A and B are shown apart, each in its own frame.
Chain A
Amino acid sequence: MTAEQDIQEQVQTAAAGQTPLAIQGGNSKAFYGRTTAGKPLSLADHHGIIDYTPSELVISARAGTSLTELESVLAQEDQMLSFEPPHFGESATLGGSVACGLSGPRRPYTGAVRDFVLGVNCINGKGEYLRLGGQVMKNVAGYDLSRTLTGSLGTLAVLLDIHLRVLPLPALDLTLVQNCSAATAVENCNRWAGRPLPLSAACHLEDRLYIRLSGMAEGVQAAATAIGGEPLDHAGHFWEQLREQQLPFFAGDTPLWRLSVPAATQPLALDGEVLLDWGGAQRWLRSKLPAAAIRSAVAAVGGHATLFRGGDRSSTVFQPLQPALLALHQRLKNTLDPAGIFNPGRMYPEL
């Protein structure tokens, strides 16, 4: 029996017995989302690259494929996953990264995980094998369900195989550092983003703004002259530490909140330490403030807040949905997972 058939059978058995399943890739992101209980369903044995022709800019791999392995195969061909997925551990898998829907520093400039997912093969809660989307960039046949599964935290289906669009590695990356306040950083990052400059990351921490430029050498050098700032040595290490939450800012037990707000929003008056990422669109907050205070402040500017790490993992971790939208989520979940066996409650208590 193949790993795929084995997984399909486990799902069918669980559906028949209404046994909750806890889907696991490398278990590196178990901290994320709400706590869930269930019989572990491991994707670890379903791994390997299925198809990779670099000139197609597409890679197809099984969900249990190690993210590190995948990235090194791409790097050998001067290509990359341009959403720069955080690993959060050596055991991180492709499937877990897609299911969690997390993107790294490049996200505001080249797109999120879901923007690069072209298609998936998966098993729904009835144990049916479904092929959604495909291996080509332009595809409008059928509902775009593979992107909806992305970031659904395994609550809708078990991802088996994933087709991703990949991009060439830039010829040159250059990181510049400027001393400025958070307010100036927000202002400048969004002004630059309105000009055709090859920005690929921008973060502000402790009165220093870090700007990464990526592209052909000529364009990067011209942009560096236009923006100004001191070049940063070993910048690759800095961006990796930011992506992996290994900077000192992320240490300690104080709850870590992820605030997603319109990028040009001025710094919010919330008690706690703040790191601005994504040119202002993503803000990390270390704070013991009550969830309601954080959520209402963020909602007031059109954003939303996630209790990313720490705090009460059985509480509402993600921003609550309006009742009609939650009802629609429940109906959608019911079409894919009618027995409610996949990661129950991992995203919202009702799903």
Chain B
Amino acid sequence: MPDKSIIPQLRKQLPAHCVLTHPEELRPYECDALSAYRQLPLAVVIPETTEQIRTILQLCSHNRVPVVARGSGTGLSGGALPLADGVLLSLAKFNRIMAIDPHNRTARVQPGVTNLAISKAAAQYGLYYAPDPSSQIACSIGGNVAENAGGVHCLKYGLTTHNIQALEVFTIDGEQLTIGSQALDAPGYDLLALMTGSEGLLGIITEVTVKLLPSPDVAQVVLAAFDSVDAAGAAVTATIASGIIPAGLELLDKPAIRAVEKFINTGYPKDAAAILLCELDGTQADVSAQIERVKQVFTAAGATAQQVSRDEQERQRFWAGRKAAFPAMGRLSPDYYCMDGTIPRKHLAHVLNRIGILSAEYDLPICNVFHAGDGNLHPLILYDANQPGELERTEELGGKILELCVAVGGTITGEHGVGMEKINQMCVQFNSAELQQFHAIKQAFDPHNLLNPGKAIPTLHRCAEFGAMHVHHGELPHPELERF
């Protein structure tokens, strides 16, 4: 039984409605968007002031109780999965936009503000916040920073780490730090980079200063069809090689196109083996010139048909299919599992072919809808959790795909994070010295390992157990460890 002595202490210090402990109140917090992993926490705390956050952290630190931070719970890797002996710290009440500075093009916002709310508030100044994860209507900026979230437009505008300037952070001891600065290139080490994507393991974010960009005058999409995935992949490479960085460049393969067309009628060419959606944005003069160039490149790469969005309504329609791809899969299959590896683009055709072979081997269909421009794959494995053994087979297939990404010089996660989901694959990407360095960094921030422990960075023992099953070329990973 977990030690519950923290609960009366929390109740004593916080208003009654800020501390939840009944199982039915805890239930909504048992998982994030990776719902295969579920766990009830000891308690959920929902502070309303930064002083209350400090109190909670000091109590937890003093009592050595783990703390898991949660924004909107839209994460896809189990980063906000509660711990049975830990407190879940919801930052949902921190949902105020503190200030927008149109001259310096920044906004100071609390961590619970949704990604899209920032752009909506900045729109009156002709500005917006560029990173646009697909969950942007719901996901919080604090969670975006914790995961270094990306999105369709990060090909041109970068990830969260490129679009924030400062953080207010509490350490586990309740000490407040300003990381980064309102001016560029803060003095000292770049801790802003270290905090971004640290998955709640280093500190609790209480305020974020984001950079705002001028909204483009116009955005248009080229929709192109290809008779093979290889040709579409080659068109992606040729576009980048031509000197154009599109705002977004997405690929859907045939199974994905068919699923989308069954779900909503977007007018995608149903007989195409793959389609590309290429968005260009900026001033009208720039966009018109770029569209002409992209059309030439696609034609040379063997496009069988091309359309350019004529107005905003048509642009939205082209994107509607891409955005509906995941729900469309949900209609085709009882369950699906979304992967998130990134690879150097030059290996796209090879990796997609290998994924096809693995799909046949495991007898599980895979659709591909992904950020082709930056090599960030999102293979969707379709499965039925009610079929005995199918979830396990799916996870094993997913693991193989991630290992394939590492083997070609890529990474196990481009934008969804490691969390609980990909913790074993971390052992494939990093060796013992690297993992130990990561643990040492965590210890510099959180000496008693209380912030989101057990996530993101695997212990060496975990890797030894996992590694024993994955021996490559006879080389045992982490050879210095005992095996059991």
Contact = CB atoms under 8 A, between A and B. Distances in A.
A105 interface: no
A177 interface: no
Interface string A150-177: 1110001000000000011101000000
Nearest to A77: B241
A194 B127 contact: yes
A348 B189 CA distance: 11
A101 interface: yes
Contacts of B184: 107-108, 112, 260, 278, 281-282
Interface in B176-220: 176-179, 181-191, 193-194, 196-198, 202, 214-217
Contacts of A147: 161, 190, 193-194
Contacts of B445: 328, 331
B154 interface: yes
A215 B290 CA distance: 11
B434 A131 contact: yes
A143 B198 contact: yes
A319 B187 contact: yes
Contacts of A302: 181-183
A332 B214 contact: no
Nearest to A157: B437
B342 A137 contact: yes
Given A144-B194, A196-B215, A137 B409 contact: no
A99 interface: no
A138 B150 contact: yes
B244 A145 contact: no
Contact of B426 (A115, A124, A141, A193): A141
Contacts of B214: 193-197
A107 B188 CA distance: 18
A111 B434 CA distance: 28
Interface in B106-128: 106, 125-127
Given A264-B103, A336-B437, A140 B414 contact: yes
Given A138-B414, A194-B105, A318-B188, A114 B193 contact: yes
Contacts of A335: 437, 440-441, 443-444
Contacts of B177: 322, 324-325, 328
Contacts of B215: 196
Interface string A329-340: 101101110000
A196 B283 contact: yes
Contacts of B289: 216-219
Nearest to A112: B185
A263 interface: yes
A25 interface: no
Nearest to B432: A128
A128 B437 contact: yes
Contacts of B189: 148, 151-152, 156, 329, 332
Contact of B410 (A55, A136, A168, A193): A136
A229 interface: no
A144 B197 contact: yes
B437 A130 contact: yes
Given A215-B286, A218-B286, A222-B285, A141 B183 contact: no
Interface string A263-288: 11000000000000010011000000
A262 B190 contact: no
Interface residues of B, number: 96
A182 interface: no
Scoring A261, A319, A335 by chain B CB atoms within 10 A of each residue's CB, the highest score goes to A335
A142 B457 contact: yes
Contacts of B240: 55-57
Contacts of B437: 124, 128, 130, 145, 335-336
Interface residues of A, number: 87
B282 A198 contact: yes
B193 A138 contact: no
A48 interface: no
B243 A130 contact: no
Residue among A168, A196, A319 facing the most chain B CB atoms (10 A cut-off): A196
Given A147-B190, A318-B188, A137 B241 contact: no
Contact of B187 (A58, A141, A191, A321): A321
A306 interface: yes
Contacts of B178: 322, 325
Interface centre among A148, A217, A318, by most B CB within 10 Å?
A148
Interface in B255-290: 281-286, 288-290
B264 to A, nearest CB: 28
Contacts of B444: 328, 331-332, 334-335
A328 B191 contact: yes
Given A138-B414, A143-B438, A302-B181, A347 B188 contact: yes
B375 A136 contact: yes
A325 B188 contact: yes
B457 A264 contact: no
Given A131-B434, A134-B410, A140-B418, A167 B245 contact: yes
A141 B411 contact: yes
Contacts of A346: none
A304 interface: yes
A129 interface: yes
Interface string A177-220: 00000000000001101111110000000000000000111110
A223 B415 CA distance: 35
Nearest to A263: B104
Nearest to A130: B434
B429 interface: yes
A150 B284 CA distance: 37
A260 B286 contact: no
A92 to B, nearest CB: 19
Contacts of B171: 324, 328
Contacts of B438: 142-143, 145
A234 B178 CA distance: 43
Nearest to B411: A139
Interface of B: 101-106, 125-127, 147-148, 150, 154-155, 158-159, 161-162, 171, 175-179, 181-191, 193-194, 196-198, 202, 214-217, 237-238, 240-241, 243-245, 281-286, 288-290, 342-346, 371, 374-376, 409-418, 422, 426, 429-431, 433-434, 437-438, 440-441, 443-445, 456-457
Interface of A: 53-58, 78, 101, 103, 107-108, 111-112, 114-115, 124, 128-132, 134-145, 147-148, 150-152, 156, 167-169, 171, 190-191, 193-198, 215-219, 221-223, 260-264, 278, 281-282, 302-304, 306, 318-319, 321-322, 324-326, 328-329, 331-332, 334-336, 347-348
21 contacts: A53-B344, A55-B240, A78-B243, A112-B185, A131-B434, A138-B375, A140-B197, A142-B429, A147-B161, A148-B189, A152-B190, A190-B105, A193-B214, A194-B125, A197-B214, A198-B283, A263-B104, A281-B183, A306-B187, A322-B177, A322-B178
Given A151-B190, A329-B188, 17 more contacts: A55-B345, A112-B184, A129-B433, A130-B434, A135-B344, A137-B154, A140-B148, A141-B413, A141-B429, A148-B193, A215-B286, A218-B285, A222-B283, A303-B181, A321-B188, A332-B189, A332-B444
